[in-house]
Amino acid sequence: MLNFAWARRVVPRIDTQKERTPFLERRLGVWRLLIADDESSSFRFPNFQWGLGRISSHIPLLTRAYKDMYSISPTSFWLMIATHLWYAIEDPLSLYFSNRLLLLIQRSVSQGKIHTSLDKDLCIAIIARVSCSAFSGFVQWTSNNIKDQYRMLVDYRLQERLLRANLALDLETSQDNEAHLTTDPEQVFRCLVGLLDLGKEIISFLIQLRLLLHLLGSEFASAGPVSIMLCFVPLILENIWDNDLWSKAYVKQAVNGEYLRKEALTLLTDPGYKAEVMGGNLLGYLLKEYQKVHDALSHIPSGDVETLWRRSTTALPDIFMNLCNDGPVLYIGLLALMNPSQVSVVQLAMLEQATTRLRYTFSFARHILTFWPSELANLKNFYRVLDLENKMKDGCMPYSPADGASGLSLEVRDVSFNYPGAKSERDALKNVSFSIKAGQLVVIVGANGSGKSTILKLLTRCYDATSGTVLVDGNPIEDYQIADLRSVTASLTQEHTIFPLSLSENIGIGSPSSVTDHDKITQAAKLAGAQDVIKNFTDGYDTILEPVKTAYLSYTGRGNEALEKEYEKMEKSTNVSGGEKQRLVASRTFMRMLSEDIKFVIVDEPSSALDPGGEYELFKQLREARKGRTMIFVTHRFGHLTKFADLILCMKGGTVVETGTHQELLNHQGEYAHLYNVQAQAFT
C-alpha cells in the first residue's frame, strides 16, 4: 500500500498489542476517513493474496454453504458447475478456432491459390468457429435461465431459514449484538457463485497461457512470454496505485460541527416534526440558523467523501495506466518495426487478441476478489445468526392445567434480576417475594421504574431471574416447556402494536387457529371497543393501516409528473389516534381470551391513550373475562381496578414494599395510600 503524505496512522485504543488495528486517517472536507491498511508497505498482489488466504481459512464454512446450496437443488447445482466448466474453456477454445482460421486464411492468401486440402481445412475451421459461437450462445442462454431460477430458489430457502432462526430467538438472545449482525441471504448465492467464477477464471487463464505459447510457434516464441508479462503490468500497477476509494475498506465520519448542525436543521423539515415546528413558529429561527451554518461551511470543500477523494487525485496514474494497457500491442509493434520479415500480420492479430483476453481474465478475477471479502463476511454472518443458540433453556415438562382449573398459581421467592447489559448500578428487582393464588385478580402499582413491568416479564418467562425462584403451580417455571406456558397466557402491554396486516388478521392472529373466524373477530373487536373505529374505514376489517412499502419509482421516473402522481396514489398508510390504536391492539388480546385455554392474563398499562369511558369499559370487560384465570394488571390509575383486586402489590425501587387489598393498604397509610391520595386529591 502506498504511503500518502497526507495520511497518518491511527491506532485505536485497544488494550492488547495483538489486537491493534492500524488505519490510515485522512480529513476530506467535513469528513474524517479511516482506511483499513492490513498488509502495510511491502509489495504484493493484495487482493489475490488476501482472497486466496481467506478462501483456505474458510473451507469448512464454504463446504457447509455449498452443501446447503446443493441440497436445495442438486440438478441445478451440477448444471451450474457444468456451465462454469464450459465458460472456463470457452475463451481459449474460441481463441484457438479464431487463430486457426486466421492462419489458414493467411496461408491461402500467401500461396495465391486455394488447395483442395486447404479448402477443406478452411471449411472445417469456419464450421468449428461458428459452432463454437452458436453453442456458446446456447449455453449462455441456458445458464442464465438456470442461474436465475436457482438463485431465486436458494434466496427463498435461505430467507426462510433466517426467518425461522430469528423467530425462534428468545428475548434476551435477540437483544444480543450477534443477533443483529447484518446479513443478506441474497448475497450468499452471489458469494458462492463468485468463488466458482474465480475458479473458472483460473482454469481459463492456465489454458489460455498454454494455448498462446502453442499458437505463437517457435519462430515467434520470445514475443509470447514477454507479451504475457506485459499483460501483468497494469494489474501490478493497479494494485500499487490502488487509489479508488470504492475498492478500499473504510469508514467515514462527519466530524464538522457546522455540517452536523446543518444536517440536524434539515431533518427538522421531516413531517414528524412539522406540527411542533409550526406550533412553535420556528420558521424564522431555523432559516437564520441554517444561513449561519451555511456561511460557516462555505470555505470547506463540500460533497461526499468519494467525490472529494476523486478530486484530490491527479490524472497521471490514469494516463500511465492506459499506456500500460497498450503495452503488449506496443511491444509487438516494436518487434514488427525492428524485424518486419519475421512478424506476420496474423501473428500480430493473434497476439493482440490473446493478450486482450488475458487482460480481461485478470481484471475479472480482480473484480471478483475485490467484492468477495464483503460477500464472505455476509456469508459468515448468515451462518452465525443461524447457529445462534437461545440463552434461555427450554424445560421438558408439559404444562396442561387440570380441567376446571381456576387459573395458574404463582410464587416468587426472593427474586433479584438485572437486565442483561444494563448500565444501571441498581438491580431492576431486588429480593422480591410474593405469592398469587389461582384465579386471583392482582394489581401491581408503584412509581415509574419501580419494577412492575419487569415482574411481568419474569412471570411470562421473557427473562430468567438472576437469583431466586419463580414457581408456577408449585414447580420452577424453567421446568416447563416455554411454548406450553405461552399457549395458556394472554397479554396486553404498551409494547403491543399493529402489524402490517389487515385489521381482521391483526385481531384474528390472537388465536391463530381461529384467524378466519369472522364472528369471533368481530366479538373481540366489540369487547375492546374497536368496532366503531373499524366501521369508519372504507375497507372495514380488510384495512391495512401500516402497509409495507408497495411502490417504487425508478430513478428516471422522477420528474415525470404523471408517473409521480400515480406513485403517490399507490402509497397509502392510514393514521389513527393513539386511543383508537390501543382499542385495535386490545382486540387481539380479547381474541386470545375467547379461547378457554387461556389461564393467565397479564395487562401492562394498556390504557394511557384511552378516554375515561374507554378505559372504564376496557377494564370492565377484562375483569368480566377473569373466570378460570389468574389476572395481573399493572396500572398507574387506581380507580377502576384496585378496588376489585384480591391482592395489590405496591412497588418501590425494585422491591415489593406493601401487599394487601385496597382497604388494608389504605388503612396501612404507607406508600400505596400516598400514591392513592395524590390521585384522589385531584378530584376533591
Ligand X SMILES: Nc1ncnc2c1ncn2[C@@H]1O[C@H](COP(=O)(O)OP(=O)(O)OP(=O)(O)O)[C@@H](O)[C@H]1O
Q: Applying CB under 6 A, what is the total number of residues that bind ligand X? A: 12
Residue 80 phi, psi (nearest 5) = -70, -40
- Residues 6+ positions from 188 with CB-CB distance below 8 Å: 65, 154, 158, 378, 379, 382
Burial 538-550 (b: 16+ CB within 10 A, else e): eeebebbbeeeee
Shortest separation between residue 453's beta carbon and ligand X, angstroms: 3
DSSP H helices in 298-399: 305-311, 316-325, 327-338, 345-386
* Cβ nearer to ligand X, comparing 274 with 426: 426
Is 493 a binder of ligand X (CB under 6 A)?
A: no
Shortest separation between residue 447's beta carbon and ligand X, angstroms: 7
Binding residue for ligand X, selected from 130, 249, 422, 570, defined by CB under 6 A: 422
* Cβ nearer to ligand X, comparing 150 with 463: 463
Is 653 a binder of ligand X (CB under 6 A)?
A: no
Shortest separation between residue 183's beta carbon and ligand X, angstroms: 24
Is 449 a binder of ligand X (CB under 6 A)?
A: yes
Please give the residues from 451 up to 480 whose contact with ligand X meets the rule CB under 6 A.
Answer: 451-454
Binding residue for ligand X, selected from 166, 424, 435, 574, defined by CB under 6 A: 424
Applying CB under 6 A, the span of 27-35, 39-47, 66-74, 447-455 interacting with ligand X comes to 447-455
Binding residue for ligand X, selected from 41, 57, 341, 448, defined by CB under 6 A: 448
Shortest separation between residue 371's beta carbon and ligand X, angstroms: 38
* Cβ nearer to ligand X, comparing 191 with 585: 585
Residue 399 phi, psi (nearest 5) = -110, 115
Cell matching residue 145 = 435461465
* Cβ nearer to ligand X, comparing 395 with 451: 451
Binding residue for ligand X, selected from 46, 327, 328, 446, defined by CB under 6 A: 446
Applying CB under 6 A, the span of 234-242, 253-261, 419-427, 520-528 interacting with ligand X comes to 419-427
In the chain, the amino acid numbered 233 is V
* Cβ nearer to ligand X, comparing 313 with 424: 424
Applying CB under 6 A, the span of 350-358, 378-386, 449-457, 625-633 interacting with ligand X comes to 449-457
Applying CB under 6 A, the span of 57-65, 81-89, 134-142, 446-454 interacting with ligand X comes to 446-454
- Residues 6+ positions from 551 with CB-CB distance below 8 Å: 567, 570, 571
* Cβ nearer to ligand X, comparing 449 with 628: 449
* Cβ nearer to ligand X, comparing 521 with 650: 650
* Cβ nearer to ligand X, comparing 445 with 544: 445
3-state secondary structure 612-639: HHHHHHHHHHHHHCCCCCEEEEECCCCH
d(CA 434, CA 455): 11
Is 450 a binder of ligand X (CB under 6 A)?
A: yes
- Residues 6+ positions from 78 with CB-CB distance below 8 Å: none
Applying CB under 6 A, the span of 50-58, 342-350, 365-373, 450-458 interacting with ligand X comes to 450-458
Shortest separation between residue 479's beta carbon and ligand X, angstroms: 25
* Residue 297 near residue 30, CB atoms below 8 Å: yes
Report the DSSP beta bridge partners of residue 432.
415
Is 83 a binder of ligand X (CB under 6 A)?
A: no
- Cα distances from 623 to residues 154, 244, 603, in angstroms, run 50, 67, 11
Q: Which residue carries 460533497 as its cell?
A: 303
Angle at 455 between CA 454 and CA 459, to 5 degrees: 120
* Cβ nearer to ligand X, comparing 212 with 436: 436
Report the DSSP beta bridge partners of residue 63.
none
Residue 107 phi, psi (nearest 5) = -60, -45
- Cα distances from 420 to residues 175, 295, 482, in angstroms, run 9, 47, 20
DSSP code for 206: H
Residue 293 phi, psi (nearest 5) = -70, -35
* Cβ nearer to ligand X, comparing 208 with 450: 450
Shortest separation between residue 675's beta carbon and ligand X, angstroms: 11
d(CA 339, CA 348): 13
d(CA 121, CA 215): 17
Binding residue for ligand X, selected from 195, 428, 591, 648, defined by CB under 6 A: 428
Q: Which residues bind ligand X (CB under 6 A)?
A: 419, 422, 424, 428, 446, 448-454
